[in-house]
Chain A
Amino acid sequence: MIRACTVDELPPGESVRIPGSPAIAVFHTEDGELYAIDDTCTHQDASLADGWLEGCFVECPLHAAMFDLRTGVPTCLPAKEPVRTYSVVVDDGVVYVEGVAREDAA
């Protein structure tokens, strides 16, 4: 488990980037859901934590590829490969990401 931040540090509509290899982006949607995916767009080097969050999708800040946070699958070009998704848990006001990619990532 990787500690991401406190719940207070990640209000709805915000995202946070956890540096590392791979870097991971954690999103708090306006609906209150928490998602974590690989931070680097699979098309070209850009941080998805810097992207535009809309519903449960994030748009890459460089070329506007859009990824479904639930599955990691891009829904439009130019990205074609999915990003990995990770489980997020909240414990005692702290947001954690499971450090290993889910095997069932699409």
Chain B
Amino acid sequence: MRRIAVVGASLAGVRAAQELRAQGYDGGIVLIGSEAHLPYDRPPLSKGFLAGTASAASLELLDAGDLASLALDFRLGVSATALEPSDRRVRLSDGSSVHADGVVIATGGRARTLPGFEGAFVLRTLDDAVALRAALVPGVRVAIVGAGFIGAEVASTCRSLGLDVVVLEALAAPLAPVLGASLAAVCARLHRDHGTDLRCGVQVTGLSPAGVELADGSLVPADVVVTGVGMTPATDWLAGSGVPVGNGVHTDAGLVTPLPQVVAVGDVARYGGRRHEHWTNASEQAPVAVANLLAGRTARTYEPSGYVWSDQYGGRLQLAGHPRPDDTLSFVEGDPDSSSFVATFQRDGETVGVFALNNAKLFTRLRRQTLRRPAAV
């Protein structure tokens, strides 16, 4: 291959570019990003960057040395509009196109919006974070729709800024389908302990100038409304390409699409019928997808570690493995009421997940000793 197009310039795309070089590929790499910014890291957007303690420069994924050594041909501020495999071409929104022998799809997704909430803030990109930060002036009342990790982290940051925060969650408890009832209760407690007004089992219907309207006809007064309700995979541009899509780009277990010269990584990759929208997933997939792209076949398969973390209210939540809410939860240290604890998820006598609040050391130990490690890379 003489030229590879990496479509998407966030973590997954950058890691893919780095892996191409690390695995000895010395041809051209075109890195296409729809945002005008050089690649940056997203986790701080809801935390340090939103709080004003981390600068935009501190988020950059590539320093001057990396930029020089990777020799990337950047196409920033343009998005891919079509993939034409027969012509080996990626068409771009500025009317130009890129000829490439191989393609890495790393387009991630767009923040999902709710009907009736047009104009509410979302948080996925640097520009989103800049806009939201500017709105978080002293005295504003904040309403956040969705108590997942993003919603919880934004709530936490807003509380650290001294703002009144209401979190509206449709589920009976935050993250219950992922963590189970007992850990969901811990997540709810973190909100309460820090003065966030968490309301669960709430159906929102729309936005009004005065705040958020609920299905029961009541109004939650708010000056700033943020929706944190997940993302929609960015696959529109693949229509007609022959690459199967539907809630992501469908790949095999090695992140290879039915076209051997096209692989997918990051939030957009749907492998074996599932996607993972995590920082670690985006980073860990790159070596496997790139190895298969360069091999021209699925030589390696991806084993997700399932590792996720979230920093909320000065505390750190960590999860590894692939637990289900009906797994048996055992507290290895501490209990759900402690400020620090570690619990494991058991299924059929096997440890399938580890969760910790403020105990990175024991978490890491259990993660490495009791969970099956991802395939060596």
Binds B, one of A31-39, A44-52, A94-102: A44-52
Residue from B41, B365, B368 in contact with A78 in the complex, judged by beta carbons closer than 8 Å: B41
CA–CA, A61 and B360, complex, Å: 6
Chain B hits for A77, CB < 8 A: 15, 18, 283
- Is the CB of A80 closer than 8 A to any CB of chain B? yes
Chain B hits for A3, CB < 8 A: none
Is the CB–CB distance between A46 and B283 below 8 Å? no
Q: Which residue of A lies closest to B44 (CB)?
A: A44
Docked complex: B11-48 residues within 8 A CB-CB of A:
15, 18, 41, 43-44
Is the CB–CB distance between B360 and A52 below 8 Å? no
CA–CA, A57 and B106, complex, Å: 31
CA–CA, A77 and B19, complex, Å: 11
CA–CA, A78 and B18, complex, Å: 12
Q: How far is the CB of A63 from chain B (nearest CB, A)?
A: 7
Docked complex: A25-84 residues within 8 A CB-CB of B:
44, 46-47, 49-52, 59, 61-64, 77-78, 80
Is the CB–CB distance between B360 and A46 below 8 Å? yes
Chain A hits for B18, CB < 8 A: 77
Residue from B41, B44, B360, B365 in contact with A62 in the complex, judged by beta carbons closer than 8 Å: B360
Is the CB–CB distance between B363 and A61 below 8 Å? yes
Given contacts A77-B18, A78-B41, contact A50 B360 (CB under 8 A): yes
Interface size class of A (residues with CB under 8 A): 10 to 19
Is the CB–CB distance between A52 and B365 below 8 Å? yes
How does the 8 Å CB contact mask read for B354-370 relative to A, with 1 for contact and 0 for none? 00000011011100100
Chain A hits for B41, CB < 8 A: 78
- Is the CB of B87 closer than 8 A to any CB of chain A? no
Docked complex: B141-184 residues within 8 A CB-CB of A:
none
Q: Which residue of B lies closest to A43 (CB)?
A: B41
Is the CB–CB distance between A63 and B364 below 8 Å? no
CA–CA, A80 and B41, complex, Å: 13
Is the CB–CB distance between A80 and B63 below 8 Å? yes
- Is the CB of B309 closer than 8 A to any CB of chain A? yes
Is the CB–CB distance between A52 and B368 below 8 Å? yes
Q: How far is the CB of B38 from chain A (nearest CB, A)?
A: 15
Q: Which residue of A lies closest to B11 (CB)?
A: A78
Is the CB–CB distance between A50 and B364 below 8 Å? yes
- Is the CB of B81 closer than 8 A to any CB of chain A? no
CA–CA, A46 and B356, complex, Å: 15
- Is the CB of B280 closer than 8 A to any CB of chain A? yes
How does the 8 Å CB contact mask read for B336-377 relative to A, with 1 for contact and 0 for none? 000000000000000000000000110111001000000000
Is the CB–CB distance between A62 and B63 below 8 Å? no
How does the 8 Å CB contact mask read for B37-66 relative to A, with 1 for contact and 0 for none? 000010110000000000000000001001
Q: How far is the CB of A76 from chain B (nearest CB, A)?
A: 10
Is the CB–CB distance between A78 and B363 below 8 Å? no
Q: How far is the CB of A45 from chain B (nearest CB, A)?
A: 9
Q: How far is the CB of A74 from chain B (nearest CB, A)?
A: 13
Q: How far is the CB of A93 from chain B (nearest CB, A)?
A: 25
Chain B hits for A64, CB < 8 A: 280, 307
Is the CB–CB distance between B63 and A61 below 8 Å? no
Given contacts A77-B15, A77-B18, contact A61 B280 (CB under 8 A): no
Given contacts A61-B318, A63-B280, 11 further A-B contacts (CB under 8 A): A49-B361, A52-B364, A52-B368, A61-B360, A61-B363, A61-B364, A62-B309, A64-B307, A77-B15, A77-B283, A78-B283
List the 9 closest A-B pairs by CB distance, nearest first. Answer: A61-B360, A50-B361, A50-B360, A61-B364, A52-B364, A52-B368, A62-B309, A51-B364, A80-B63
18 A-B pairs with C-beta separation under 8 A: A46-B360, A50-B361, A50-B364, A51-B360, A51-B361, A51-B364, A52-B364, A52-B368, A61-B361, A61-B364, A62-B309, A62-B316, A63-B279, A77-B15, A77-B18, A78-B41, A78-B283, A80-B66
Residues of A within 8 A of B (CB): 44, 46-47, 49-52, 59, 61-64, 77-78, 80
Residues of B within 8 A of A (CB): 15, 18, 41, 43-44, 63, 66, 279-280, 283, 307, 309, 316, 318, 360-361, 363-365, 368
